[in-house]
Structure 1
Amino acid sequence: MEIGLIRGLGTLVVFIAFIGVVLWAYNSKRKKGFDEAANLPFADEPKSDQREEKDSRSNNE
């Protein structure tokens, strides 16, 4: 086997694996879990109503 053929087959295997990961990530059954994980950094932030109320109190003082 020539080195070019081996590299070509390696590229093909990696490309097929990439397509598999993309399809797995966009699978509708797992989308809800990915959406929840994407919003985790914002979970500790106060809700917008509480933040606006706090800001309006500090402006009145």
Structure 2
Amino acid sequence: MDIGTIRGIGTAMILIAFVCLVFWAYSSKRKKSFDEAAMLPFGEESLPTDTRNDQNSSRSTHQ
């Protein structure tokens, strides 16, 4: 076996792994859990306060 054959086999294995991963990600069993996870940033929890405004106001008073 020469290096070209080995590289070809490696490329084919990576392609098969990629196709399997895409199939797994888009399977109907997982879609519901992925949709729920995608909505997590938009939950009803309060957002943390912006500390950059506090730092900017304290800098302006010291100048």
- What TM-score results when the alignment is normalised by the length of structure 2? 0.66
Residue correspondences, number: 46
Q: Which stretches of structure 1, 4 residues or more, deviate above 4 A after TM superposition?
A: none
- Structure with the higher fraction of residues in helix conformation: 1
Distance 1:28 1:5 in 2: 37
Structure 1 residue runs of 5 or longer lacking an equivalent are: 47-61
Percent of residue pairs bearing the same amino acid type = 63
Structure 2 residue runs of 5 or longer lacking an equivalent are: 47-63
Spell out, residue by residue over 1:9-54, the C-alpha distance to the aligned partner (whole angstroms, 9 max, x if none): 00000000000000001110110000011111111467xxxxxxxx
RMSD: 1.5
- What TM-score results when the alignment is normalised by the length of structure 1? 0.68
